[in-house]
């Protein structure tokens, strides 16, 4: 039996956050393949490459050098090949204005970065699980909105 992998990408300029993120997935029992990118430009270069494996869910930090999370979000949503990827904003900001803006522009999930590792694991597992249901059960992704 070939294992079902869930492909996950993260773009975040903070090295510690990237490390926490990959560690958290290593400890979950869900089969995942995680790729990380240091900024928005690196991420978009990867996604725009025509034979890149597209992620099932993409985590975007908002504050990144060169190209920030909102810019990436807008670019992805305009691109027919990419606009079906579920997008999770992964940010330290909890400003209601920011949150609403990213949702309106097409984000599916908004995660306020948790301060402890246990919580991070719990949140990521919840996100990946529910995203998997959207992915495998024909649920309407237009209505996929979630805040954690």
Partner 1 sequence: MKVYLKFDYTQLTKKIVEEKLSELGYKYSSIGFGEFNFLEKVPSGKINELTGIFREYGIEIVENQKSVLVQKIKDAIVEMVNNDAPLNIKSSVFIAEKLNLSYAYLSNVFSEVTYTSIENFIIIQKIELAKQLMINTPLNLTEISIQLNYSSVAHLSTQFKHTTGMTPSSFQKIIQKRRALSNKNKP
- Summarize as ranges the residues that interact with partner 1 (CB under 8 A): 1, 30, 100, 103-106, 110, 128-130, 132-133, 136-137, 139-140, 142-143, 145-148
**Choice between 53 and 139, CB closer to partner 1:** 139
d(CA 44, CA 79): 11
Q: Do 148 and 112 meet the contact criterion of CB atoms below 8 Å apart?
A: yes
Q: Quote the least distance from Cβ 71 to partner 1, whole Å.
A: 17
* In the complex, least distance from residue 27 CB atom to partner 1, rounded to whole angstroms: 14
- How far apart CA 132 and CA 136 sit, in angstroms, is 6
Least distance CB 136 / partner 1 (angstroms): 7
- Distance of alpha carbon 145 from alpha carbon 87, whole angstroms: 10
104 burial via Cβ count (<10 Å: 0-12, 13-18, 19+): exposed
Instruction: Please identify which residue in the block is written with the tokens 């773009």.
Output: 11
Q: Which is nearer to partner 1, 21 or 110 (CB)?
A: 110
> Shortest approach of partner 1 to residue 100 CB, angstroms?
7
Closest to partner 1 by CB, 41 vs 146, is: 146
């Amino acid at each position: 039996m070939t294992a079902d992998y869930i492909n996950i990408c993260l773009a975040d300029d903070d090295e510690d956050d990237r490390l926490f993120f990959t560690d958290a997935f290593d400890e979950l029992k869900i089969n995942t393949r995680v790729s990380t990118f240091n900024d928005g430009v690196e991420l978009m270069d990867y996604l725009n490459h025509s034979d890149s494996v597209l992620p099932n869910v993409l985590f975007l930090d908002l504050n990144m050098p060169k190209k920030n999370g909102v810019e990436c979000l807008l670019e992805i949503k305009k691109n027919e090949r990419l606009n079906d990827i579920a997008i999770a904003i992964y940010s330290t900001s909890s400003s209601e204005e920011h949150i609403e803006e990213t949702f309106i522009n097409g984000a599916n999930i908004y995660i306020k970065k948790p301060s402890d590792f246990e919580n991070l694991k719990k949140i990521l597992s919840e996100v990946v699980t529910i995203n998997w249901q959207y992915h495998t059960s024909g649920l309407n992704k237009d209505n996929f909105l979630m805040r954690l």
